[in-house]
Amino acid sequence: KMTVKAVKMPCTAPNVYTKVPDGGWGWTIAFAFFFVEALTYGIIKSFGVFFNDLRESFDETNSRISWIISICVFVQAFTAPLSTILSNRFGHHLVVMAGGVLISTGMVIASFACSVVDMYITIGVISGLGYCLSFLPTVTILSQYFDKRRSLVTAVASTGECFAVFSFAPAITALKEQIGWRYSLLSVGVLQLSVVICGSLLRPIIIKEQEEVKVQPPEEITETKYMLENEQTRTSIESIDSGVEITTSPSNVPGNTKAEPKSEEPKEQVQILSDNNSTPPEPKNKLLDFSVMRDYSFICYALFGLFATLGFFAPSLYIIPLSLSLGISKDHSAYILSAMAIAEVFGRISAGWVLNKEPIRKIYIELICVVLLSVALFAFPFASEFWGLMTCSIFFGFMLGTVAGTHIPLLAEDDVVGIAKMSSAAGVYVFIQSFAGLAGPPLAGVLVDTTHNYSSAFYSCAAGMVLGAVFLSLVRPCKAGLCRRQQQCVEEGAVVVLPDLPDDFIEMDITKAENSGKVSN
């Protein structure tokens, strides 16, 4: 039976459970994560509505404007280890609240920018750091509150990003027509200050196993008392001459030679035994545990994330240019992007529902989804009209949702690193992803400029996804091989030889006392 420590504490105090609750305060954190997703990744994906306004206001090229989001995504992922260190040092809620302040500050200052370089600093660096401090600690602590429902809850909560694309993009577009892009960007920055409220809802969790209090039978109590008395007798025998009569119990000692111990001594001895049996203090948690880099299964999973990230952002960036190049109107091109976002919602929820089933090897389900996602990317260049491109977009959006909503929570599974190292592993994992996030869109752009064909962007994304699938398929074999090696080391380890203990503790004392008497004589 699960119990919660019912003590009145501040809202930032940890929740103490006897086991993973699979609910409880975790539902509040899932609610907060939904809005954190909407106000971080949702805004990043909706930032394209400002693209033409920034290009016209600053008189810059498309590539220089696109670097704003590229720098933002890179900083967000590159500073993931810093987010992990700060979370372990100061707590998740304080870090997320600080991230909300940075996000809002960067956006508000960006509304007064005079050049695209100012945008690089404000949105790219300041807001990018805030995005990292807000997103990663939230998804990490959410994973700690759930076990059996972890995949489903995380997938559903992560749909906040998709719903934000639906609501923010048309709302910001309508707002720009009324007050201009600068005040619209200022409004977005003020709205993102709500991340601070979400951060205040995060409460750390402590899993403390309930100790079973065993009632000592009367026979054991009598035996323990008898052993303590015998210990006192042995000590007295060693400290006096050999002519003294040996006694093992106060009831057997004659009245004139009764060597009764003082009343304080048994209490003192019991206290000593209690102190010796006390549990040692638990070691402090490392701020960032880099030991995960010695785990081959994690290395393969990190390489999967590195190459798979190449296919996460570029398709959303190039789907409209591809549709326009096929002669599809702007309105219909926008419908294609909206359909992709809708399909992503269903993909996230479906993946969470499937991964929530027991028993199931979740890493294999993820591998199947990545392979199908690669197929979807290869299918884009073969679409030649609206409905063909719409079909590819829906299929891609659905499969993208299955992977994007689960690849970070899967770090908590035993096939990768486990829940104990989830925090450090997530920081290192996202840090490695940062390089692909920075290089992915520019690499696709270079291929498009070279070949003058937008299909090249999708081929590069598909190639990266295939490489990611290869490394993902190696995660489970590496983990299984590591477990076998550890088991073999344990079996081949040193054999512990227990000393031969006497059958009777009293006989040992009497024999020791007799030998002492013979030596004295």
What domains, with CATH codes, occur in the chain? 14-209 (1.20.1250.20), 289-494 (1.20.1250.20)
pLDDT value at position 287? 57
The DSSP output letter for 17 is E
**What end-to-end distance do the CA atoms of the chain give, in Å?**
65
Compute φ and ψ for 5, nearest 5 degrees: -70, 110
Give dist(CA 72, CA 2) in Å, integer: 43
H or E element: which one contains 207? strand 205-207
Token readout for 446 is 């270079």
Handedness of CA 355, 414, 20, 424 (dihedral sign): negative
pTM over 0.85: no
pLDDT value of residue 236: 44
3-state class of 89 per DSSP?
Answer: helix
For residue 503, the SS3 value is coil
Q: If we measure between CA atoms, which residue out of 385, 262, 392, 242 comes closest to residue 315?
A: 392
Task: With a cut of 70, list the residues of the chain below it in pLDDT.
Answer: 1-15, 18, 62, 209-290, 313-314, 330, 358-359, 481-521
| 209 CB-contact burial (10 Å; exposed 0-12 / middle 13-18 / buried 19+) | exposed
Q: Are 97 and 199 in contact (CB under 8 A)?
A: yes
> Residue 235's pLDDT is what?
46
Q: What is the DSSP letter of 4?
A: B
Instruction: Assess contact for 303 and 360: CB atoms under 8 A.
Output: no
Task: Indicate the DSSP class of residue 518.
Answer: H
**Separation of alpha carbons 512 and 123, rounded Å:** 81
Report the candidate in 133, 140, 143, 113 with the shortest Cα–Cα distance to residue 192. Answer: 133
CA distance 399 to 380: 14
Nearest-angstrom CA–CA distance, 127 and 69: 10
Q: Give residue 91's region: left, alpha or beta (phi > 0; psi -120 to 50).
A: left
Q: Which residues of 469-479 are buried (b: 16+ CB within 10 A; e: fewer)?
A: bebbbbbbebb
